[in-house]
Structure 1
Amino acid sequence: MTNVLGGSDRRLKFGIFFVCLALYIAVGYWLQIQNGFIMGDTLSRVSSTRSVLFSRDPHLAALGFIFTPVAAMVQIPAVWLSPFFPEITARAFSGTLMSALFMSGAAVQIFSMGADRGLPRAYALAITAMFALNPMIVFYGSNGMSEGPFIFFMTWAVRRLIMWMVDDDVHHLVTAGGVAMGLAYLTRYDALATVGAAGLVVGITTYLRARPAPRVRRAVMDMLIVSGPGVAAFLGWAVAGWLITGEAFAQFTSQYGNAAILEQSGMTAPNTVEAVSFAGACIMLLAPTLLPLMLWAIMQRWGRPNWQMLVAPLAMFGAVLAFQALSYAQGSTFPFLRFFIIAIPMAATLALLGVPDGTFAPPKRRGKYAPAASVVVPQRRTAATYVVVASTFAIGIPVTVVGMSLPDYAPQEYGLAAVLAPDPGDVTDRAATEQRIARTFATERRIADYLETLDLPDSSVITDTVYGFGIIAASPRPKMFVIPSDPDFTELLNDPVENGVRYLLSVPPTGRGTSDALNLRYPTLYETGAEVATLELEIPNDGDGQPDWRLYRVADPSESG
């Protein structure tokens, strides 16, 4: 058994990465390209990324400021190839490539948490495999959502801070804070909670360790190293959004943000008991043995050398779970199972910390205030300990399968049944809904195909991206569309007749459609054409939660005159 990092461990990490990468890409290809099962946020990001390269006015700010940018920006190289491989955008396959890369990296980080501490390879591999093959991890490693990069950055940061607790090596702080947590915030807003938690953990730890004066200054310095970049990312993204759009926090203030979507959908904030109950249920569905693993790890480590390693994962992962529960309680986010997915890597980390340490990887530079490297009598290693802890962690897999099938907790996942186990004879309402979920964006692809047959010039069709992103992503000619990120969008929308616009794509002015720019400018457009256009085509939608479209042909200038 190899207890320290070496060439063989590096090869094993490469092997883990590429096996997971192949698995997640294959699943994504099967789901999205072969079956058309595409998540809305994934396709929206792909459409925005495409606008950066191929819209009427290509520019980086076309990514928008509703989502943080990392998950979209890293797709730019793949989207650049979309003229040669249209499915990259039409079926959001660039998103699959992105999430697969990051989730594979997260699997490597989980394995490395064991390798760093010299755990038996078989055990570290077993925990890594159970993490990587968890159905939620497989799904979100393959569907192009932001969970993949977020879990990668979180596990990377936690892993490095676990080791910092042991050796006080400043390189861990720089990597965890200067890279991982800063990028985590630029991937998901909930990383801000872990930025704060890490700062507190590091500051308090340094203060307690560095007893000679000036201990406060040392504590503050370490806090700045680990949390400063995350705070800078928070401020920088807010300033950029304010300078470009006039809104520092568009996710919460924009007509396209979460707060607006919740209001438009008629959703109300739950009371505290409901919010806590929902959060607890989601955590139990994703990691049902999280509490036993945590208690076991504490019992095994309390009062023993390096017990402080437990603080980092409990504080950092716990901060994200608490942030999500609080956000739901305040009515600023949705009741989605996936928002608590960080419970899975948290449980994996505790499973790795719940067994005896081996030989630690040597630090690059052991810190001055690292705990004394005392001679420790090796703890007895019995196979039973590893089997029991691993089996406890494994319980999460079948429970998560059940959780993903529950519409009340997993409204975005339970529709997978329509492609995983299709039953043509099932005529229940639930089966019909599952099939509609699986068909989401199929109508939008047909609209894109129809518009392509019209052989329209550039700037011919005005649509908002509230719902129109699916059509734009599927079209082989995105310059055909005038969209809100174009600088002349308002000008053309105000006078489509004189500006040569041929068509207006309209959605009902209800629900999210109330924020559609065309409905705001022409409140009667969907019903009557608002005296600027005549109805050419009505397209019923067979996707779940998607609107019935109406294609209006703009009046010819000679006719209006």
Structure 2
Amino acid sequence: MTQWVELPMENGSVRRKDRSGWVLAVIVFAAEFIFGCYLYAVKGDIQEDALSRVANAFYVLFSRNPHLGAIGFVWNPLPSMFELPPVALWRWFPPVASDALAGVFITSVASAAIAFALHRALLWAEVSKTTSIVVVLCLALHPFMFLYGANGMSEMIFACFLVISLLNYLSWKDDRAVSRLVMAGCALAMAFWARYEAVAFGVGLFAVVLSDALRRAPADAQVRLLMSRRDYRRFRRQERLWYAAATALVLLLPAVYSGIMWMVLNAEIMHDPLYFLHSAYSNLSLTSMLSSASKYRAIEHHPVRVLLFMWERIWVFMIPVGMLLVYRLIRGRLVRWETLQLLVLAASIPSLQFLLLLHGASYGWLRFFFYPLPIAVAWWTYEMRSDARQLERRWRELAQVAMAASIVISGVFTGIIMERNANVAPEEYSLLHMDKNEVIQQLRIQQQIAQYINQDLPRATVLMDSYSAFDVILHVRQPRHLVITSDYDFANALRYPWTHHVQYILVPDPVNGYQFDAVNRIYPTLYAHGAPWVRLEKSFGTWRLYRVLEPFAESRALVRQGFFEHKEGLHPNLRERKWYPP
């Protein structure tokens, strides 16, 4: 059933139940979903990361060994878990997986949820319905927010829980209701399951909540009357500390528990509690190549250069934050704790990026710096609630126009950067210019491989690493014939292909990150030089499909002589292993 929202009017009475939030959410969802379907299903302009998230959900349901652990233990699993229900429709509607429409659906829902939450918060701050809709639509139609609400990436899902967490914290600042703090903590935990940046935001949120708890711990007037002034001061210090500790525990417990559980799952299944941090597929491995790029090598270990690099990307998203600071200055509230709290929250995630860029562990993409924008709009609801009874209606409306204008100005500059500046916004620029998008070209090659497998090798057992070949897997009609990374026997099948009935092995060119492909890690020269135990079946641009030959006496002799070890690049760890059935 539809849950109605009761909204207080300026005269103290209660408005009749209102549907505007739900209507607004439906409009935002429809716009995002239609645009995403056009972008992905019609134009074929797909974001690689969005497709890989859908693929992770696909492995859970349609691989040789369907199991929840197939969702992966490197990237946060929540986006792929949300995508499981729509991906389940793959048999009847393949584009839901092959064109990443499951991801488009989920991010459209997240964008609609942000619009609904902000609209409701503004109405509770006694902002007029029309003005609230205008502000929320300005944010939803901001070029960056609109693009990432439609492209299936994890950023909008994370931003949704970030906004929900922040709105509940701001409500707690007013009424001190523990339920609000609990909801803020639960939303923070959900944000962690979406993206690791939640750790940085959680540290910032913890700092501001702790400062509120220490400054505004509730006092009991009756206790004050029963104690001397000196005893009461000592009691109040202890009371503040206990209240702050209890408040922090309520806020952080869900997120800390989530982090511990994630490490426990990594330890139990992958045999390494920090597998997500330093495995071959982790962010640290992927960014290990950055030192070879002059752009990143120039800023590594140079704090000032890192700050300039960040400012070039973040300033467009800081315009609404600047408007907030001007508003607080006009209202005489600039030099207050709340101003520092706003800046701490806005700088929390960029601070993490500063540390990563400083140590050469981040690509510094534009999407890593947009979070101050939704944080500023969420904080705006608190400003309006604080001034609900103090400002005349016309001044409140003027303030709303100023916020909407700051979002529009931010959107205009962001759109220009995304359209014209490939250096600052490489991902967005590539998405808007398909003819220059190398990722799309690689995905099309993978689709050609899948088409070849469907037509010429429909029942063959083909081994491939889903880290790099996920688009092949999503386009194959019989995925249960594939041996992929999440299968229980993948590691052994890769080392002993004959005993696991592997007929073909798909190998990518070990450049541009594909050196981390499991096949290339085990056989580093297989792509370039082949091996006596395989025969080249077909080449697809930067991919090669090898047929695994049956073992015979001559090849066994070559194995015993170490020919494979020294001439064909067999991994040193495998030199003592047999490559044929006993």
The CA RMSD measured in Å over matched residues stands at 2.5
Q: Is 1:489 the equivalent of 2:490? A: yes
Please name the residue that 1:427 is paired with: none
Please name the residue that 1:454 is paired with: 456
Q: Is 1:196 the equivalent of 2:240? A: no
Q: Which digits, 9 at most, give the CA deviation of each residue in 1:330-373, with x for residues without a partner?
A: 222212000112122123235545557565xxxxxxxxxxxxxx
Indicate conservation of the 8 Å contact 1:150/1:184, yes or no: yes
Q: 1:50 aligns with which of 53, 58, 68?
A: 58
Please name the residue that 1:507 is paired with: 508
Q: Which digits, 9 at most, give the CA deviation of each residue in 1:482-510, with x for residues without a partner?
A: 11211111221112234321111011233
Please name the residue that 1:386 is paired with: 400
Q: Which structure has the higher relative contact order (CA within 8 Å, separation 6+)?
A: 1
Please name the residue that 1:290 is paired with: 321
Q: Is 1:302 the equivalent of 2:333? A: yes
Give, in whole Å, the separation in 2 of the partners of 1:498 and 1:161: 58
Q: Is 1:319 the equivalent of 2:348? A: yes
- Please report how far the alpha carbon of residue 289 of structure 1 lies from its aligned counterpart in structure 2 after TM superposition: 4.6
Please name the residue that 2:28 is paired with: 20
- Please report how far the alpha carbon of residue 313 of structure 1 lies from its aligned counterpart in structure 2 after TM superposition: 4.5
Residue identity opposite 1:254 in structure 2 = S
Give, in whole Å, the separation in 1 of the partners of 2:171 and 2:284: 39
Q: 1:154 aligns with which of 154, 157, 162?
A: 162
- Please report how far the alpha carbon of residue 22 of structure 1 lies from its aligned counterpart in structure 2 after TM superposition: 0.6
Please name the residue that 1:239 is paired with: 264
Larger Rg: 2
- Please report how far the alpha carbon of residue 239 of structure 1 lies from its aligned counterpart in structure 2 after TM superposition: 1.8
198-207 or 468-477: which moved more? 198-207
Indicate conservation of the 8 Å contact 1:163/1:309, yes or no: no
- Please report how far the alpha carbon of residue 63 of structure 1 lies from its aligned counterpart in structure 2 after TM superposition: 1.0
Give, in whole Å, the separation in 1 of the partners of 2:334 and 2:429: 44
Give, in whole Å, the separation in 1 of the partners of 2:7 and 2:493: 66
307-316 or 328-337: which moved more? 307-316
Please name the residue that 2:250 is paired with: 225
Give, in whole Å, the separation in 2 of the partners of 1:274 and 1:9: 53
- Greater helix fraction, Structure 1 or Structure 2: 2
- Please report how far the alpha carbon of residue 24 of structure 1 lies from its aligned counterpart in structure 2 after TM superposition: 0.9
Give, in whole Å, the separation in 2 of the partners of 1:160 and 1:401: 31
Q: Is 1:37 the equivalent of 2:50? A: no
TM-score between both structures, scaled by the size of structure 2: 0.84
Report the CA distance shift for 1:89/1:35 in structure 2 as closer, same or farther (over 3 A): same
Indicate conservation of the 8 Å contact 2:210/2:248, yes or no: yes
Please name the residue that 1:422 is paired with: none
Indicate conservation of the 8 Å contact 1:285/1:400, yes or no: yes
Q: Which digits, 9 at most, give the CA deviation of each residue in 1:296-353, with x for residues without a partner?
A: 235426289xx76666554333312222232222222212000112122123235545
- Name the SS for the 1:534 alignment partner: strand
Q: What does 1:536-555 correspond to in 2, within 5 Å? A: 536-540=537-541, 548-555=542-549
Q: Is 1:180 the equivalent of 2:181? A: no
- Name the SS for the 2:331 alignment partner: helix
Unaligned runs of 5+ in 2: 1-5, 220-234, 557-582
Indicate conservation of the 8 Å contact 1:264/1:514, yes or no: no
Please name the residue that 2:446 is paired with: 444
Give, in whole Å, the separation in 2 of the partners of 1:21 and 1:283: 27
- Please report how far the alpha carbon of residue 245 of structure 1 lies from its aligned counterpart in structure 2 after TM superposition: 1.0
- Name the SS for the 1:181 alignment partner: helix
Give, in whole Å, the separation in 1 of the partners of 2:367 and 2:89: 30
Indicate conservation of the 8 Å contact 2:459/2:478, yes or no: no
- Name the SS for the 2:514 alignment partner: helix
Please name the residue that 1:373 is paired with: none
- Please report how far the alpha carbon of residue 531 of structure 1 lies from its aligned counterpart in structure 2 after TM superposition: 1.8
Give, in whole Å, the separation in 2 of the partners of 1:469 and 1:386: 46
Indicate conservation of the 8 Å contact 1:288/1:399, yes or no: no
TM-score between both structures, scaled by the size of structure 1: 0.87
Residue identity opposite 1:186 in structure 2 = W
146-155 or 464-473: which moved more? 464-473
Residue identity opposite 2:200 in structure 1 = A
- Name the SS for the 2:433 alignment partner: helix
Please name the residue that 2:224 is paired with: none
Q: What does 1:523-538 correspond to in 2, within 5 Å? A: 523-538=524-539
- Please report how far the alpha carbon of residue 378 of structure 1 lies from its aligned counterpart in structure 2 after TM superposition: 4.8
- Name the SS for the 1:228 alignment partner: helix
Report the CA distance shift for 1:102/1:73 in structure 2 as closer, same or farther (over 3 A): same
Structure 1 vs Structure 2: percent identity of aligned residues? 26
Report the CA distance shift for 1:393/1:261 in structure 2 as closer, same or farther (over 3 A): same
Please name the residue that 2:432 is paired with: 417
Indicate conservation of the 8 Å contact 2:125/2:382, yes or no: no
Q: 1:209 aligns with which of 205, 209, 216?
A: 216
Please name the residue that 1:273 is paired with: 304
Residue identity opposite 1:112 in structure 2 = R
Give, in whole Å, the separation in 1 of the partners of 2:18 and 2:271: 47
Give, in whole Å, the separation in 2 of the partners of 1:210 and 1:103: 36
Please name the residue that 1:425 is paired with: none
